[in-house]
Structure 1
Amino acid sequence: MSPWLRVLEAYAVAALLRTPAFHRAVEKVAKQVHRVRHGIPPDEPSGTQIDNKPGPSGFLGHFADEVKAQMGAEKHKQGSAGVNMDSRAMSHDGRKSRVEEVEAEADKVNADAAWRDAQHNAAQPPKRGLGGEYLAALREQMRRER
């Protein structure tokens, strides 16, 4: 190997070792290798902490939990911010509060509107898609040619 090629190689290696991006990349690779060999350290913060949730894990477990929650199997309703909504819905003597009554009435109105829409849509013939429209136009042309 020529001496100039060795000098060029030494300069390129030195320049690469001086860059912070190279060091970050090496650190990420080393971290992944450590995780593969030893697992994720418990003290390391990781996003949503889904892996540490008790109960079934994986997609199917979370999907089943969501279906149960939407079907009303959970004891307490959770708001979008994770606030227990049932605590504000009951008054001190255990009766329904005005908030819960309004929510029940809104659910009834929404259900009635959905039922009317379903009845209206059932009376109409289904819309033809692009393939149906194409076939109808093709049939029409075939009739005209005869």
Structure 2
Amino acid sequence: MAPWLHLVEAFLVQQLLRTPAFHRGVEKVAKTVHRVRHGTPAEEMGGTKIDQPSQSGYVQHFLDELKTQLGNETKSINGGSGQAGVNMDSRAMGHGGVKSKVEQQAAEVDAVNAEAAWRDAQQNAMQPKQQGFLSEYSNALRQQMKGDKKS
């Protein structure tokens, strides 16, 4: 094989490895293989996927929430220990509800994290964009040419 062909091949492989689309494709294949071997990960079962084998599904959950919001049924903090429950609807907090210490601490942590993220974004915006090799090389040539004209 010709030596120039090895250089072209190495260049093309390097360009392929730099593309985000290639990495997304590899990640998708790896995720599919993992799912086939081990099943759906637990973190993908959370969130809005509320159906569980022991419950009757979305409709039952929806009806329970309607009952809770109408005041017919209350959610208990202690998990149904027989005590009078507390409506844990997040919208009730805005209407004179009192936040627990955990909710207050979580809000403070969120505020600190948001402030840190804002500072990082401001610092990153002030930094000049990194130039590639060709841009730096052409800038150096321009500076040298300007230096020659002044002399």
TM-score by length of 2: 0.33
Q: Normalising by the residue count of structure 1, what TM-score does the alignment of the two structures yield?
A: 0.33
Greater relative contact order structure (CA < 8 Å, 6+ sep): 2
Q: State the structure with more CA Rg.
A: 1
